[in-house]
């Protein structure tokens, strides 16, 4: 079952913050966040496994709610290099399959 | 330590021909995932394989598409009798374990861009 990402697109000025959400109708085993730049492969950002977990990666962090049905990716003091499409990938079954949302396109302007 | 290698990077086929896309996972990785991406769209899951086994092929079209991951050699995604609608970027990813069992990340290859003319 495909997770739902919101918003579909965000335009920021350098230094502004953004939040990208990823939700599912049922509890998830894990949430994986990736960023893809145009014409390139998706690049791994982080995985969240436990309900209530929060994890950080420089100025990019993420949380996983207690019910394990929603995750949010936080980008603070955005930089030009943050531009790209962000995907959340979720596992909801026992097979280890990784299903991605439709992505959120982030554009950071000078 | 080479990453996930996909070849060819670009493939042009005429309608009706066969396309073979190869994916060599990272060393030590025995799990491979194939995804299809249309321009400006998301990553659509196609198939998940372990060595010599198809674990989940729920995203594969019922006809013309097949995938394998033999004991030796790369994983192959095969598209027979290609049509214009098959034009897309095809990405594979690999992980050392199934992602659910260890919470491990999946590493992506650079993709194969298939163009059907």
Question: What's the residue count for chain A?
Answer: 110
For chains A and B, CB pairs below 8 A equal 73
- The yes-or-no verdict on residue B20 having pLDDT over 70 is yes
The number of angstroms, rounded, from the C-alpha of A82 to the middle of its chain's C-alpha atoms is 12
Distance from CA of A51 to the nearest CA of B (A): 14
Q: What is the pLDDT of residues A29-80, one digit of tens each?
A: 889 999 999 889 999 999 998 888 888 877 999 999 878 889 999 999 999 9
Nearest to A101 among B33, B42, B98 (CB): B42
Residue B103 has pLDDT above 70, yes or no: no
Residue with more model confidence, A39 or B24: B24
Query: Is A72 in contact with A19 (CB distance < 8 Å)?
Result: yes
Asked if A90 and A22 count as a contact pair (C-beta separation under 8 A), the reply is yes
Chain A residues touching B55 at Cβ < 8 A: 95-97
Residue B4 has pLDDT above 70, yes or no: yes
């Amino acid at each position: 079952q495909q997770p739902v990402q919101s918003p579909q697109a965000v335009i920021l000025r350098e230094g502004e913050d953004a939040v990208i959400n990823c939700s599912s109708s049922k509890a998830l085993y894990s949430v994986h966040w990736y960023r893809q730049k145009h014409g390139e492969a998706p690049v791994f950002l982080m995985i969240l496994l436990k309900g209530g977990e929060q994890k950080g990666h420089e100025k990019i962090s993420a949380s996983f709610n207690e019910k394990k049905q929603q995750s949010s990716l936080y980008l603070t003091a955005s930089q030009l290099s943050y531009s790209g499409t962000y995907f959340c990938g979720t596992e909801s079954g026992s097979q280890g399959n990784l299903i991605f949302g439709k992505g959120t396109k982030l554009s950071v302007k000078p | 330590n080479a990453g996930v290698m996909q070849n060819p990077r670009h493939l042009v086929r005429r309608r009706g021909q066969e396309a073979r896309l190869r994916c060599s996972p990272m060393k030590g990785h025995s799990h491979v995932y194939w995804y299809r991406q249309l321009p400006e769209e998301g990553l659509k899951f196609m198939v998940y394989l372990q060595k010599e086994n198809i674990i989940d092929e729920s995203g594969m079209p019922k006809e013309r598409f097949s995938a394998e991951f033999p004991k030796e050699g790369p994983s192959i995604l095969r598209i027979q009798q290609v049509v214009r609608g098959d034009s897309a970027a095809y990405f594979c990813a690999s992980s050392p374990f199934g992602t659910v069992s260890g919470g491990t990340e999946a590493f992506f290859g650079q993709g194969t861009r298939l163009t059907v003319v």
